[in-house]
Amino acid sequence: MITAIVAIILLFTLFSTRILAAEFYIVHDRSTQKCTVVDKPLVTNIRTITLVTDAIYKTRREAESAMRAIKVCSAKK
């Protein structure tokens, strides 16, 4: 009985950490020439907004730091 309870707790913990894991992406809007960090994968039919890299970042701070190093995002217009 105790092993069943422990197994249920472990399964719950495993699935809840996957659900709570944050993912951030960098997108570029060609019409405004600006990059933005978003927390959802790009699912849009808008042709002017594109995913800058295939990288998935774990924190917003990490994505913003990477965004500064990307040539398209750091170019001054």
Residuewise pLDDT in 10s, the chain (77 residues): 777 665 566 556 655 544 456 889 998 888 888 899 998 877 666 677 888 888 889 999 999 999 888 888 876 65
Q: What is the pLDDT of residue 10?
A: 59
The domain locations on the chain are 22-77
Q: What is the pLDDT of residue 52?
A: 83
The answer to whether the CB of 37 falls within 8 A of the CB of 22 is: no
Q: What is the pLDDT of residue 17?
A: 47
Distance of alpha carbon 77 from alpha carbon 71, whole angstroms: 12
The answer to whether the CB of 35 falls within 8 A of the CB of 64 is: no
Q: What is the pLDDT of residue 51?
A: 82
- The whole-model pTM stands at 0.64
Q: What is the pLDDT of residue 18?
A: 47
